[in-house]
Amino acid sequence: MTVTNILDGLGRNVRTNFSTAEVKTLATIAAEIDDTKIKRISLVDEKKPVVTTGSVGAASVVLPIDGLFEYDGIKRYLAQQIIPASNTSVSSSISSEDAYIDVYNGSDKVGVAGVMANRLIEAGLPDGNVTTGDVPTKASYGDFVWFDLSQGGASQTKAKLQSILGRAPMGIELPSGVRSDADFVIIVGNGTN
């Protein structure tokens, strides 16, 4: 494929403020990159995909798992893949467990799952392993509840969560109507400030 073909394809499909000379320079630089040094990252990883398919109107689309126009989960995942364990306070034992944590908003308040997720990341859990979402609101969640679905496979992460959250997990089975493939699930309720 020639640079002209690339430019033609870009011109028909991509809007940019690159000049033709800049695109040619980019193509020259790209040609010099050793293919074995390129890291390929899948957004549809079997254990923890960050995109899914859905529809918007009559169109079939690929969209973030977290919801339409919710790109924070994708950004965290990419950051972790590009610069693994970028948070130096994450212990190697927790990183090696590679445990996933879903933080769900089970309240009427907007953004509380994100606040909890940020709290976990700031406390040293790997940011690419913490994702957010929503579940139906229930009074039984109180300020929050959390569950250990790891089947004993992530003891260091469990201990870290227990230290951060100040309490033991509520159980090993999720409440009715809540589904997750993560190792740990935290549901933030209406009792949170």
pTM of the model: 0.56
Q: Kindly state whether residues 103 and 175 are assigned to the same domain.
A: yes
CATH code for position 97: 3.30.70.2390
Q: Kindly state whether residues 95 and 184 are assigned to the same domain.
A: yes
Place of tokens 């994702």: 131
Domain boundaries, position 17: 3-37
- Residue 185's Cβ-count burial label (10 Å; 0-12, 13-18, 19+) is buried
- Selection from 117, 114, 97 nearest residue 158 by Cα: 97
Residue 88's pLDDT band (cuts 50, 70, 90): very low
Q: What is the pLDDT of residues 120-136, one digit of tens each?
A: 988 888 877 899 999 99
In a domain, 76, yes or no: no
Total domain count, the chain? 2
Query: Given this model, what pLDDT does residue 8 score?
Result: 67
